[in-house]
Amino acid sequence: MRYYRVFLPRPSGGDDGAVFSGHGVSLADAELVREGFNWLACVFSVFWAIGNGLWLTALAMVAGLVVLVGVPEIVGLDTASRVILLVGYAILCGMSGNDLLSMALSSRGFRLVAVVAARDRASAVIRFAECGIAPADDARAESEAALRRPAALDLGPSPGFWS
């Protein structure tokens, strides 16, 4: 099982306490971001960032690549050290790619409304549609009630690092 974060745009009236479904926001507006390692961000870091509209992130990635290629040339590192630096850069991009995308969606006015466990993206959309969207006031009251309940042992599915 994989976990997907579900983001919806804020309601058109700007009222955070409103029910999302029924105020101009539909399931088609939902953005799903998978938790875990992002292989596209690992292999094609700068192009992945540009493709997802993360312009400042792409600029930072280019600056990081310039430093990782230029500094070893100036210092005179051997080829193995350069490869280790570039592989580390790629792994860092892959590990943080989905988090960067989530932060960008939040800054664009999207709101995290749910986390769904599903086999793939299509199943996650179906699961999210089945559970419905609760009003923010009910969700706030439900989360306060959950804080008052004793903690339960969570034995749910664990996707692992490479899922």
pLDDT in tens, 85-140: 999 999 999 999 999 999 999 999 899 988 999 999 888 888 888 886 654 545 55
First to last CA, the chain: 8
Facing residues of 118 across strands?
2
Dihedral angle sign, alpha carbons of residues 80, 61, 43, 96:
positive
Spatial CA neighbour of 51 closest among 40, 63, 62: 40
Q: Which pLDDT belongs to residue 130?
A: 84
Q: In degrees, to the nearest 5, what angle opens at C-alpha 138 toward C-alphas 135 and 141?
A: 150
Q: Which two tokens stand for residue 24?
A: 């101009």
Highest mean pLDDT among 26-30, 110-114, 140-144: 110-114
